[in-house]
Structures are given as C-alpha cells and as structure tokens.
Amino acid sequence: MGLALLLLIWLITLVSTYFFVAKTWWLPVGASAAAGWIDHQFALTFVIMGVVFLAAQLLLGYIVWKYRESPSSPPVEYSHGNTTLEVVWTVLTAILFIGLNLMGSNVWASQRFEPAEAGAVQVEVTGMQFAWYFRYPGADGKYGKTSVKLMDPSAGGEAAVGLDTSDPAAKDDIVTGTMYLPVNREVNLNLRAVDVIHSFFVPSLRFKQDAVPGLNIPMHFKPTVIGEYEIACAELCGLGHYKMHGMVHVVSQEDFDKWVAAREAEKQ
Amino acid sequence: MATPASVHAHAPQGFIRKYIFSLDHKVIGIQYFFLALTAVFVGMFLSLLMRIHLIWPTASLPLVGTIQPETYLSLLTMHGTIMVFFVLTTAPQGGFGNYFLPIQIGAPDMAFPVLNMLSFWTTFVGFVVIICAFFVTGGAPLHGWTGYTPLSALPSAGPGEQLGADLWITSIAIFCIASLMGALNFLTTTLDMRAKGMTMMRMPLTCWSWFITAILGLLAFGVLLSAGILLLMDRNLGTSFYVPLVVVNGQVMGHKGGSPLLWQHLFWFFGHPEVYIAILPGMGVTSQILSTFSRKPIFGYRAMVYAMLSIGFFGFMVWGHHMFMSGMSPYSAFAFSILTMCIGVPSAIKTFNWLGTMYKGRIRFSTPMLFAIGFVSLFVSGGLSGPFLAQPVLDIQLHDTYFVVGHFHLIMGVAAIFGIFAATYYWFPKMFGRMMNESWGKLHFFLTLAGTYAIFMPMHYLGMAGQTRRYSQFTEVAYQTKLLPLQTFMTYAAFITIAAQFIFVINLFWSMFKGPKASDNPWESTTLEWTTATPPPHDNFGGVTPVVHHGPYEYGVPGAAKDYVMQTDPTTSTAH
C-alpha cells in the first residue's frame, strides 16, 4: 500500500511537472513593453514554486513508503516537535514569499502609479452586453459628450456609446468595433461600461482591466510587435459573455495614420 | 464546567423528537451530514452537465435536453453556491463539528441545544429555497456564485435574474443566519463546556479548528447577511447601494450613484474567510488522523494552533486580492498582496509539521489515513499556485482564467472534500457502530486522487494560455478553441471521478446496515470520543463526566503499556 501511494503521488507530480517544463501549454508570446517584466516575474515564481512542489510531493511519497508499519519497523520517535526547526522554516518561508512579492512590485507601480507618457494615443474603451466599442478623440484631442439617453446598442457605433453629435468636440470622434493601435507608442485607455462589469483582456499584450459602470478607469500600456491580437471578456457579464470577443490590430504609425484618415473621411 | 439545564438525563422517546426535531448534537450532526451529502450530489450532477456542455454544446441529454449558454451559467452559479455553502461549510463544521466537538471536549451536549436544532433547520430551509430557484420562471440566476453587481442587481440583465436571483440571495441570507447561530453555539461550547483537565492546549486540533472556524463564521456571515439584504433592496425596493446609472439593452435603469465595487468589498470580506471556514476543519482532522495512524504525537502541536490562529487572523485582511483587476486603488493592492503572502507562512508551517509527524512513524494505511495523506498532497498543490495569484502583476494574466479555477478547486474544493472523506471513514464506526469496507474505501481513494488531479491540474495550463473562466463555449475566440483537446481530457477524467463517488455512497449505506460491528476504539486513538460506547449514549458518556490527564496525541510513549495513552488515562505519565 505504501508503495502504491508512493508511485501514484510521484507519477502525478512528475507528469504535472513535465507539462509545465515542456511548456506544452504556456503564456502566449508577449507583444507589449510590460510582457518581458511580467513573464520574468512569472518564470521566477514558477521556478521557486516548482522546486517547492517537487520537493514536498516527492518527500511526501517517500515518507509514507519509508515509514510504513511492518513487523520489523522500529518504535516511533516519541517527539512533540522541535522549536528551532519551526522557527527556521517559518523565517525562511516568510523571507521567500515576501521577497518574491516585492520583486514583482516595480512592474505594477510603473503601470499603475504613473500616468501615461506625454503624446500617448488616446482611446476610450466601452464595454456593453456583448460588444466592445473603441472611441478615438480625433484631431482636436477631445472626446465629445455622451449621454445615456442617446445610447442605442442595437444601432451600434456612435449610437451605441451614446455620442452627442451636437457637441462640437464630438464632430471628429471615431467610434469603431475593432481597435487599431500604432506600434511602439504608449496607449492611454479610458475604460467604461454601460450596463454590467466587463473585463478587457488581451492575453498577448499582457493587459487586463475591468470596465466598471459608474467608473472611468485610466490605464496605459505599449504594444511593441505589429500583429492582430484577440480580446476576450474576462468578467462574467451575462449569457453572451463567451462571445464578447474583439480584435486589436497593432500596425505601423504610418498605417495607423492612414486608418484614422480613412475613418475621418467616412464621417464626412 | 457548566451543565446546561436543557441536557436531559433521559433520551427523548418519540420518533419526531428523537430523529427529526432532535436536540441531541449527535443527531443534528448526522442531519447536517446527510444534508451535505444530498447537496454534494446535486452540485456534482450540475458540474457533470457543465463538463458535457463544454465539449458537446449541442448534445441532447435525456431529461435535460440541450443545454443553452444561459443554462450553462445557471449550472455554474448553482454548482458554486451549493458546494461552497451547503457542502464545504455544512459538512465539516455543521456535521462533524456538531457531532464530535462536545464529545472530544467531554461535554454532554452543545451549550444551546435548541439553538443547535434551529440552526440545522434554518440551513435546511435555505437549501430548499435555493433548489426552488431551478423551478421558477426564468430559472436559476446566471451571475456566478460571487454574484457581482450590477449583473446580480438588475432583473433585466439576463435570464434567471428575476425571481431565481431573489431566491438565490434569500437562500444565502437564510444560510448566514443559520451559520451565525451555529458559530455562537460552537464558541460557547468550546469556552464553557470543557471537562475537568481539558485545558485549551489539551484540546484535539480538530476542536481548535472548529473553534477558529466558528470565530471566522461569526465575523464573516454577519457581513454577508447585511450585503445580501442591501442587494435584495436594490433589486426590489429601488435603492442604489450597488448600482450606478446604467443602461441595459438601451433602457435606462432607475438607479443612480451606487458602487458596484461596494458589493465586491463586502462579498470578499466574507468570501475570503469563507475559504478558511471550508479548509480549517480539514486541517484539524488531517492532523488528528496523521498522528493517529503514524502512531506518533503530532509534530509541533503549539505551532499548529498558532498557525491556524494566524491563518484566521490574516484571513480577514486579504479580501482585496480578489479585486486586483477591479479598478480598486492600485496602492491598496500592495498591502493586500503582502498580507496574502503572509498567509502562505502558517500554511507552510502546517505542511512541514504534517511531514514531521509522519517522519519516523509507523504508518498504518487505513482509508482515513489515505485521505489525510491525499489532503496534504492536494493542500501543497493547491497552495503553491497561491503565491502566483497573490501577486497583482501576475494577476494581469491569470485573474479570471482557469488558473484560478484550478487553484481554488484543488485547495478549497478537493482538499476540503478529502478532509470530509477522511473524517467520514475515521468517525463512521463511532457514528453508526459499524466499520466501512476497507477495500472499497481504498479503491475510492486511488480513483478519486488520480481523477481529481487529472481534472484540476490541466486547468493551470489552460489558465496560463489565457483560457477565461465562465465561458459556456470556446468557439468564439480562436486562441481558446485550440485548447479544446485539454478540456475534452478533463471531461473524461470527470466522468471517471464522478463514477468513483458511487463506490463511496454504496460503501456508506451498505456498511451502515451490513458492515461488521465496530469496537469502541477501532483505530486505537486517544481522544475522548474513543473512550465512550459505540455509538455514544444520549449524554455521551453514560452519566460519567470524563477527567482529562493528557494531551490529545500521546502515541509511542516510552514505558507505556500500549503504544497509545488515552487522554483520560490516570496512571501513565506523559510529556504533554
């Protein structure tokens, strides 16, 4: 019985570890400035926790097999514990866990405590059941007014976000269902939701932030690789949650300018 | 020791007073146990339907028909709610705690037997109410067990958000009231009803775990109850605690100025301690069983008590780690993150001490021991994904993915369930006077351990690859569709694991009537429940009040006649 248990625990441990180490399934290739940092912190955590996982499980399997009761096994050691050992592993674990945590904190700080760089591309992201809309402020750099009274989700586009077309600042606002971003430029997002909570998740860009009704949440990041990336809603928002899907097209600055010009032309 | 006036010398005779509205903590414990057993089969059946729908979304099932995306979300909501409240909170604390806390501390009953009966029947009403949610117009709610507002606050936000959602929150509120009554009873009993010589530091670790769980319950359920009442008011009385100005489907709702994040703060202020409410009793019973079946004193009794106390203490200061992506202040994420890492420390201490207990022991592989060893393995596996999720920067990738689902299922789902199985196999002889079948028990263990790892370990891979949770289908997002083969594997693993649970149920009921008669102390354990008759008499000790002379885990004492010394043994001298 001890041997069967040892084999099962070791087998589970080694098979689980194999798929982690072989990276059969792994984080998607990162395509933003923060990806390198995040992936580094992930890898560091992964190595430390992986070693602890292997050590603890293999030891558990070994101990249950080694100390199984048999007619020849020696009497047990009558011990109530060891205070020195308790102190040692308490302190070691505390240093390891808290140290690991602090190492990751600078990435969080740079993304969330500091505002976006000057000259960042401005995009407003609006989530609603079950679509994403992206609004660019246009040449004037100002978003036009929106109003809940004007919102008409079934019409899509400008009407869906309730754009007040009588506002002069709204004249050059672009509203689209697909996000376009220039590569290597910081993006300053304003996240909003009109009905329930949604979450704007782009795995390849290592970006996730909830969009909450009643809040306007600013957040910034910098895509670094040209490509098309999928958006998946990450907060349960109703029956169509699974199909609240969108695309981010990261293009060259030149292509981005062309795309903006074409959208402005469409509006006229 | 105080003896409450309501403890009768004579057992009640009528069927109803004896088995239905009983004041006997043992009967109430068994009632809780069977309520949880019913609930776990409902919850498991719901998860089976979910696993089938994920792989074969258009399949037409007998009785159920074809599962729609909204039905999938209802299944998910009800699975989570039923499992967390009516299984993981009900069985370890209400079931085994009720039955064995008084006996293990040498008391004739709980401090407040009437309150005890009331708390069970209130829980029962809560269960009936939540089951009703399946059968009302619109069906069960789809907002998930966390019920995030405004989705859960707006009847027009989706199917199931009408009467079904009202029943859901009402059921939870009823459950909170029942748990508050139970918590008061556990605390008073532990503090006031201990037998002579049963100092706090001589209590079995199971009693410590029930005691600390009761403290957590007293502080947490009150908050959830209040939060639930506010939600009911938002839904039915037009208040706006949780709902700002929103537009659903082009209709402006009548709310203004509420905060969706308020619900998350209140919910998780309950929700995080809740995971310890589910797992602490499992830790207690694992410690008890590892010591008993290793024939060795528990390693570091005091460290174990302090570890549980600090887990309970820190458990109230980490709720914000569920909200790193919510729009909460990013500065507070720092504090929540560090405090969460702090919880890892006492958890690691417990693991070290469990290994230390088995080290140089003489391990007997009875079924309770197998499940306790399985608990340790699962606790390690589920625990080590915690330090990933405790870091806000890694949550950018992992939050609301299957990585989280894998993490909490391993630790507060399966590990806690292994604690319940271990307790069932361990105490069944005392509760029902017969032994369970060991061969069936071992088969059940091996299938369940392998099966649960096969279901929940791959969830970590899926989460890293960005598979979002609570998706009823993976057909709409291209990168997620590629992950379907792994989902298919998990569904097959779930079939086998669920089938294996019938071995347990058959063993349970068969042994209840046909199992070999159990002696008073079949496992050669040391704690007080093994000093009394099997099953124990109405007043637990047959008119005798036990006197305690030793700590709870005196195994392998040099010079003792046997390899264990009962807590009540007046002659042998021990170190604790």
* Predicted confidence (pLDDT) per residue in A27-62, tens digit: 999 999 999 999 999 999 999 999 999 999 999 999
B373 and A57 in contact by Cβ < 8 A? no
Q: Among B119, B118, B466, which residue's Cα sits nearest to residue A208? A: B466
Inform me whether the C-beta atom of residue A257 falls under 8 Å from chain B C-beta atoms.
no
Using one digit for the tens of pLDDT, what is the confidence trace for B165-184?
999 999 999 999 999 999 99
pLDDT band at A101 (very low <50, low <70, confident <90, very high): confident
What's the half-sphere exposure (Cβ side, CA atoms, 13 Å) at B474? Answer: 23
Query: Can you tell me the distance from the alpha carbon of A223 to that of A207, in angstroms, rounded to the nearest whole number?
Result: 10
Inform me whether the C-beta atom of residue B201 falls under 8 Å from chain A C-beta atoms.
no
A27 and B252 in contact by Cβ < 8 A? no
pLDDT at residue B7 tops 60: no
A236 and B376 in contact by Cβ < 8 A? no
Inform me whether the C-beta atom of residue B46 falls under 8 Å from chain A C-beta atoms.
no
Domain count, chain B: 3
Domain check: are A145 and A257 in the same one? yes
Domain check: are A167 and A243 in the same one? yes
Domain check: are B355 and B467 in the same one? yes
Domain check: are A96 and A181 in the same one? no
Q: How far is A175 from chain B (nearest CA, A)?
A: 18
Residue given tokens 């309970």 in the structure block: B312
Query: Can you tell me the distance from the alpha carbon of B384 to that of A49, in angstroms, rounded to the nearest whole number?
Result: 6
* pLDDT score at B8: 47
Q: How many angstroms separate the Cα of B459 from the Cα of each of A88, B74, B483, B486?
A: 34, 21, 11, 9
CA nearest B324 in A: which residue?
A209
pLDDT band at A107 (very low <50, low <70, confident <90, very high): confident
A5 and B370 in contact by Cβ < 8 A? yes
Q: Please report which residue ranges of B414-483 form alpha helices under DSSP H.
A: 416-432, 438-464, 478-481
ipTM above 0.85, yes or no: yes
User: Average of pLDDT values for A175-186?
Assistant: 96
- Work out the angle at residue A143's Cα, subtended by the Cα atoms of residues A138 and A149, and round it to the nearest 5 degrees: 130
* pLDDT score at B10: 65
Which of helix, strand or coil describes residue A248? Answer: strand
Q: How many angstroms separate the Cα of B226 from the Cα of each of B120, B143, B265, B399?
A: 21, 19, 12, 27
Using one digit for the tens of pLDDT, what is the confidence trace for B282-320?
999 999 999 999 999 999 999 999 999 999 999 999 999
* pLDDT score at A112: 86
Domain check: are A204 and A173 in the same one? yes
Determine if the peptide bond prior to A130 is cis (ω within 30°). yes
Taking phi over 0 as left and psi of -120 to 50 as alpha, with beta for the rest, B518 belongs to beta
Query: Can you tell me the distance from the alpha carbon of B254 to that of B239, in angstroms, rounded to the nearest whole number?
Result: 9
DSSP string over B185-253: HHHHHHHH-PPBT--GGGS-HHHHHHHHHHHHHHHHHHHHHHHHHHHHHHHHT---SS--S-EETTEEP
Q: Which of B241, B247, B252, B479 to mutate to test the interface with A (most CBs of A within 10 A)?
A: B247
Domain check: are A160 and A217 in the same one? yes
> Cβ-count burial of B70 within 10 angstroms (0-12 exposed, 13-18 middle, 19+ buried)?
buried
For position A241, which CATH number holds?
A: 2.60.40.420
Residues of B in contact with A24 (CB under 8 A): 461
Domain check: are B421 and B466 in the same one? yes
Phi, psi of A76 (to 5 degrees): -70, 160
Residues 6+ positions from B519 with CB-CB distance below 8 Å: B429, B534
Is A8 within a domain? Answer: yes
Is B235 within a domain? Answer: no
Is B536 within a domain? Answer: yes
Is B249 within a domain? Answer: no
Inform me whether the C-beta atom of residue B265 falls under 8 Å from chain A C-beta atoms.
no
Tell which of B201, B217, B233 closes a domain. Answer: B217
pLDDT band at A105 (very low <50, low <70, confident <90, very high): confident
Query: Can you tell me the distance from the alpha carbon of B498 to that of B454, in angstroms, rounded to the nearest whole number?
Result: 12
**pTM of this structure:** 0.95
Domain check: are A95 and A139 in the same one? no
What's the half-sphere exposure (Cβ side, CA atoms, 13 Å) at A139? Answer: 8
The residue length of chain B stands at 576
Is A73 within a domain? Answer: no
Q: How far is A242 from chain B (nearest CA, A)?
A: 5
Q: How many CB pairs below 8 A link A and B?
A: 335
* pLDDT score at B188: 98
| CB-based contact B93:B190 (threshold 8 Å) | no
Specify the pairing of strand A217-221 against strand A187-193: antiparallel
Q: Please report which residue ranges of B295-325 form alpha helices under DSSP H.
A: 301-315
Residue given tokens 């069970």 in the structure block: B120
pLDDT at residue A92 tops 60: yes
Using one digit for the tens of pLDDT, what is the confidence trace for B224-270?
999 999 999 999 999 999 999 999 988 999 999 999 999 999 999 99
Q: How far is A158 from chain B (nearest CA, A)?
A: 13
Residues 6+ positions from B191 with CB-CB distance below 8 Å: none
B387 and A97 in contact by Cβ < 8 A? yes
Domain check: are B353 and B211 in the same one? no
pLDDT at residue A268 tops 80: no
Domain check: are A133 and A181 in the same one? yes
Residues of A in contact with B381 (CB under 8 A): 16, 53, 57
Of chain A residues 57-86, which have a CB less than 8 A from chain B?
57, 59-60, 63-64, 67-69, 73, 75-82, 85-86
Domain check: are A89 and A125 in the same one? no
Residues 6+ positions from B137 with CB-CB distance below 8 Å: B162, B163
> Cβ-count burial of A176 within 10 angstroms (0-12 exposed, 13-18 middle, 19+ buried)?
middle
Residues 6+ positions from A77 with CB-CB distance below 8 Å: B296, B360, B556
- Work out the angle at residue B75's Cα, subtended by the Cα atoms of residues B492 and B140, and round it to the nearest 5 degrees: 165
Domain check: are A125 and A254 in the same one? yes
Residue B576 domain boundaries: 525-576
Q: How far is B115 from chain A (nearest CA, A)?
A: 38
Query: Can you tell me the distance from the alpha carbon of A65 to that of A2, in angstroms, rounded to the nearest whole number?
Result: 4
| CB-based contact B293:B282 (threshold 8 Å) | no
Residue A225 domain boundaries: 121-267
Residues 6+ positions from B530 with CB-CB distance below 8 Å: B430, B520, B521, B523, B566
* pLDDT score at B339: 94
pLDDT at residue B218 tops 50: yes
Tell which of B190, B217, B244 closes a domain. Answer: B217
What's the half-sphere exposure (Cβ side, CA atoms, 13 Å) at A241? Answer: 31
Residues of A in contact with B466 (CB under 8 A): 27-28, 201, 203, 232
B249 and A129 in contact by Cβ < 8 A? yes
User: Average of pLDDT values for B15-42?
Assistant: 94
> Cβ-count burial of A67 within 10 angstroms (0-12 exposed, 13-18 middle, 19+ buried)?
buried
pLDDT at residue B358 tops 80: yes
In this complex, the residue of A104, A113, A197 whose CB is nearest that of residue B393 is A104
* pLDDT score at B17: 85
Q: Among A183, A158, A166, A179, which residue's Cα sits nearest to residue A266? A: A158
Q: How far is A169 from chain B (nearest CA, A)?
A: 23
Residues 6+ positions from A81 with CB-CB distance below 8 Å: B297, B298, B299, B300, B301, B302, B303, B353, B356
Strand order from edge to edge, sheet including A217-221: A174-176, A131-136, A121-128, A187-193, A217-221
Is A222 within a domain? Answer: yes
Q: How far is A243 from chain B (nearest CA, A)?
A: 5
Q: How far is A141 from chain B (nearest CA, A)?
A: 25
DSSP string over A157-170: HHHHHTB-TTSGGG
The residue length of chain A stands at 268
CA nearest A55 in B: which residue?
B380
Taking phi over 0 as left and psi of -120 to 50 as alpha, with beta for the rest, B238 belongs to left
Query: Can you tell me the distance from the alpha carbon of B139 to that of B237, in angstroms, rounded to the nearest whole number?
Result: 22
Which helix (H) or strand (E) is A184 found in, with range?
Answer: none
